[in-house]
Amino acid sequence: MARPTRPLAQLAPAPSPRGVPEATVARLPLYLRALTSLSDRGVATVSSDELAETAGVNSAKLRKDLSYLGSYGTRGVGYEVEFLRHQITREIGLTQDWAVVIIGIGNLGHALANYGGFASRGFRIAALVDADERRSGEEVAGLKVRHSDELEDVIETLNISIAVVATPAHAAQAVCDRVVAAGITSILNFAPAVVQVPEGVELRKVDLSTELQILAYHEQRKNGAALALTAEQAVELAKAVRG
Amino acid sequence: MARPTRPLAQLAPAPSPRGVPEATVARLPLYLRALTSLSDRGVATVSSDELAETAGVNSAKLRKDLSYLGSYGTRGVGYEVEFLRHQITREIGLTQDWAVVIIGIGNLGHALANYGGFASRGFRIAALVDADERRSGEEVAGLKVRHSDELEDVIETLNISIAVVATPAHAAQAVCDRVVAAGITSILNFAPAVVQVPEGVELRKVDLSTELQILAYHEQRKNGAALALTAEQAVELAKAVRG
DNA sequence: GGGCACTTGTGAAGCCATGCACAAAGTTGC
DNA sequence: GCAACTTTGTGCATGGCTTCACAAGTGCCC
Ligand SMILES: NC(=O)c1ccc[n+]([C@@H]2O[C@H](COP(=O)([O-])OP(=O)(O)OC[C@H]3O[C@@H](n4cnc5c(N)ncnc54)[C@H](O)[C@@H]3O)[C@@H](O)[C@H]2O)c1
Ligand SMILES: NC(=O)c1ccc[n+]([C@@H]2O[C@H](COP(=O)([O-])OP(=O)(O)OC[C@H]3O[C@@H](n4cnc5c(N)ncnc54)[C@H](O)[C@@H]3O)[C@@H](O)[C@H]2O)c1
């Protein structure tokens, strides 16, 4: 008999016995995206091979990752898309929405504030803050930009969980210090600066120049290899001519 | 006698005997940033401890990383800031500028195009491309936005090495296919989509929603732990009351 | 010129992540 | 109810990265 909806497991609330590896955590959003896409296409059940393909990872890795969350598949069948999606959503903590403040409403801050993709992924841009008086009061993405004097007040009043730092590099440490003092324990930093935070505060950084530099390294390597090859060929050629 | 400028080593061109670990490559830009900052402050020589502190990493790791590039330090002294900076710059391949095309000039594309930080880090935004007719001709950051029909032409004519993809997710694969066909072998993708590229093409992705979701996971975990503790305390309390 | 203080460069150990390969478990068909 | 088939969950081997700890090398001082 095909089991219909897994009522029992759905009621049992919190598996993940203790500690999901960090590398796995970083891939859960990827699986969630893949599952959402399958769900939109009306797929009800998926095997680890198919899901791995959709998410662009190795299927053994996918299965091992999922095994850290619990035993949510059915041998011989695969995974129920909606059910697994729900489990991952719960594991990541996206059954609730998280309130986010963006600090530094310049080029990047504007783009982030106007981005529509966060809402559908569990985040609500709740406030925008900038130090520049001239920006205060400006309306961006339906929100008034607040002056940074109000930062602590905004964080407390709006019950903000996550701070996104998009200020110039030289201001990043001071801004992080302030939000941490105001009780924030999760920060996403776009400024190219080394920022220190106390134990217990999660700091992630996105550095676009670094990404480009890593690409440049590989690009150069390819070119260098090509040149070396050419040089070798040149020697061969020289030999041939001489010989 | 203190050695003045290391003329010999500077002439010897290409160390890095073969293969720098990927994890190390990803940190070289960080070291470069730290060295630039020290250089700006007029520091001439730095120990691995100090440099590691500036870059926010463990000093043993820093020394091991640098050892993959060559033996550029002086025991008992440390590293010459300018010299090391030059070596890392050369290793990453930033002695030349790399021409970049940004594809998809929406919220994010605008921010990237207007960002001043790329130029100083070895990258030149050489072209902007968008599929929307209405954007073609618009001037952004001193460049005319070109229509995507011209994509291949732009890549070839301007000798572009790196493509930055900032289109909606549904267009990302097609755009990547086109730039790869046009000869590009380095792509930075901002669209939240799984993109396949052939062997030999370097694809890096930046997914901001994923970053936030990882933060949410940890945030939830902290809260959950707090709640669990409270529950435990509640049991203790209940016992105490009953006992 | 020899000893002391300092710092690099690296061998070695331990840790974590990856991926293979297969037993266990479930389904389907007869 | 059994056999053949499918697919999960995981033990295990492998490899890469991190960190420790120290020998080897360098400069300085007397
Ligand atoms: N724009 C990009 O595409 C891009 C790319 C890579 C990195 N970055 C980094 O992201 C950060 C923001 O970039 P940007 O291009 O938006 O810069 P920007 O100069 O356009 O905007 C920075 C904003 O931060 C505000 N600000 C300054 N100090 C502040 C403080 N103490 N508190 C609150 N707000 C403050 C400024 O008033 C300004 O509005 C920078 O660190 C930059 O290096 C940006
Ligand atoms: N804006 C952000 O802060 C942000 C944050 C996270 C992720 N992203 C991702 O980055 C991408 C861009 O985001 P955005 O906010 O700038 O979106 P956007 O809709 O503002 O801009 C997308 C642009 O791409 C152009 N485009 C569409 N198809 C194209 C094609 N085939 N070739 C060339 N151009 C094409 C559109 O005309 C538009 O100008 C999206 O995939 C988004 O999910 C953006």
**Residues A166-180: tens digit of each pLDDT:** 999 999 999 999 999
- Number of other residues whose CB lies within 10 A of the CB of residue B157: 11
- Closest chain B CA to residue A90: B217
pLDDT score, position B227: 55
Q: What is the pLDDT of residue B41?
A: 96
What pLDDT, in 10s, does the model give residues A35-47?
A: 999 999 999 999 9
Q: How far is the CA of A131 from the centre of ligand 1 (A)?
A: 11
- Mean pLDDT value across residues B112-121: 96
Considering only CA atoms, name the residue closest to the C1' of nucleotide D21.
B60
Band (A14; pLDDT cuts 50, 70, 90): very low
- Measured CA A84 to C1' D11 distance, in angstroms: 25
**pLDDT value of residue B18:** 62
- Range with the lowest mean pLDDT among A57-66, A209-218, A229-238, B199-208? A229-238
Give me ligand 1 centre to Cα A138, in Å: 16
CB contact under 8 A, B186 and A117: no
**Residue B5: pLDDT over 60:** no
Q: How confident is the model over A205-222, as a mean pLDDT? A: 97
pTM of the predicted structure, to 2 decimals? 0.90
Separation of B9 CA and C8 C1' (Å): 17
Three-state DSSP class for A101? strand
Q: What is the mean pLDDT of residues B110-132?
A: 97
Cβ distance of A222 and B200 shorter than 8 Å: yes
Q: Report whether A101 contacts A163 (CB < 8 A).
A: yes
CA dihedral B116, B118, B119, B123 (to 10 degrees): -150
For the cut 50, the answer to whether the pLDDT of residue B80 exceeds it is: yes
* C-alpha distance from residue A185 to each of A99, A119, B213 (Å): 13, 21, 14
Per-residue confidence (pLDDT) for residue A161, from 0 to 100:
98
Instruction: Write down the mean pLDDT value for chain B.
Output: 89
What pLDDT score does B226 carry? 55
Residue B228: CB atoms within 10 A of its CB come to 11
Task: For nucleotide C11, give the residue with the nearest CA to its C1'.
Answer: B64
Å: B75 CA to C2 C1': 19
Least confident range of A88-92, A238-242, B9-13, B34-38? B9-13
- CA of residue A48 to C1' of nucleotide D9, angstroms: 11
The span from the CA of B60 to the CA of B186, in Å, is: 31
The hierarchical CATH code for the domain A8-92 is: 1.10.10.10
Band the pLDDT of B14: cuts 50, 70, 90.
very low
> Which of B107, B162, B220 shows the shortest C-beta gap to A212?
B162
pLDDT at residue number B242: 47
Q: Which of B200, B219, B224 sits opposite A185 (nearest CB)?
A: B219
| Range of lowest pLDDT (A168-172, A182-186, B238-242) | B238-242
Comparing A236 with B20, the larger pLDDT belongs to B20
Query: What are the chain B neighbours of A218 within 8 Å (beta carbons)?
Result: 25, 186, 202
Residues 6+ apart with CB under 8 A from B93: A216, A217, A219, A220, A221, B122
Per-residue pLDDT band for B19 (boundaries 50, 70, 90) equals: confident
Nearest nt (C1') from B71 Cα: C9
Ligand of minimum distance to the alpha carbon of B195 = 2
Averaged pLDDT for residues A61-69: 97
Q: Give the pLDDT score at B10.
A: 37
DSSP one-letter code for A119:
G
User: What's the pLDDT score for residue B154?
Assistant: 98
Domains A8-92 and A98-206 share a fold: no
User: Which residues does chain B have within 8 Å of residue A187's beta carbon, measured at their own beta carbons?
Assistant: 215
User: Given an 8 Å threshold on Cβ–Cβ distance, is B92 in contact with A220?
Assistant: yes
B222 and A209 within 8 Å at the Cβ level: the answer is no
pLDDT tens by residue, A117-154:
999 999 999 999 999 999 988 999 999 999 999 999 99
Q: Distance, CA A14 to ligand 2 centroid (Å)?
A: 37
The confidence score (pLDDT) of residue B195 equals 98
Q: What is the pLDDT of residue A227?
A: 54
- Give the pLDDT score at A224: 75
What is the mean predicted confidence (pLDDT) over B26-37? 98
A41-45, A120-124, A186-190, A226-230: which has the minimum mean pLDDT? A226-230
Domain ranges of chain B: 8-92, 98-206, 209-240
- Closest nucleotide C1' to the C-alpha of B77: C7
3-state secondary structure chain B: CCCCCCHHHHHCCCCCCCCCCHHHHHHHHHHHHHHHHHHHCCCCEECHHHHHHHHCCCHHHHHHHHHHHCCCCECCCEEEHHHHHHHHHHHHCCCCCEEEEEECCCHHHHHHHHCCCCHHHCEEEEEEEECCCCCCCCEECCEEEEEHHHHHHHHHHCCCCEEEECCCHHHHHHHHHHHHHCCCCEEEECCCCCCCCCCCCEEEECCHHHHHHHHHHHHHHHHHHHHHHHHHHHHHHHHHHHC
Residue B186: closest C-alpha in chain A: A215
Q: Do A204 and B213 touch (CB under 8 A)?
A: no
Site from B160, B188, B208, B221 to mutate, A interface, most A CB atoms within 10 angstroms? B208
What CATH architecture applies to the domain A98-206? Answer: 3-Layer(aba) Sandwich (3.40)
The per-residue pLDDT for A226 is 55
β-pair partners for A53: none
Q: Please report residues of A whose CB lies closer than 8 A to that of B100.
A: 212
Q: What is the pLDDT of residue A223?
A: 85
Query: Which of strand D's nucleotides are less than 7 A from any protein C-beta?
Result: 5-11, 16-21, 24-28
* Whether the CB of B195 sits within 6 Å of ligand 2: no
Question: Which atom of ligand 1 is closest in space to residue A191's alpha carbon?
Answer: 41
What number is the average pLDDT over the span A171-195? 98
Question: What nucleotide is nearest A66 when CA is compared to C1'?
Answer: D9
**Statement: residue A87 has pLDDT above 50:** yes
* Ligand 1 site, residue A79, Cβ cutoff 6 A: no
Q: What is the structure's pLDDT at B92?
A: 97
Strands of A81-185 (E only): list them: 98-103, 123-130, 139-140, 143-147, 162-165
A99-127 confidence digits (pLDDT tens): 999 999 999 999 999 999 999 999 999 99
Ligand 2 neighbour A115 (Cβ under 6 A): yes
Share of chain A above pLDDT 90, in %: 82
Q: Which atom number of ligand 2 is nearest to the Cα of residue B165?
A: 11
Mean pLDDT score across all residues of chain A: 89
Which residues on A lie below 8 Å from B55 (Cβ)?
Answer: 194
In chain B, % of residues over pLDDT 90: 82
B216 vs B7, higher pLDDT: B216
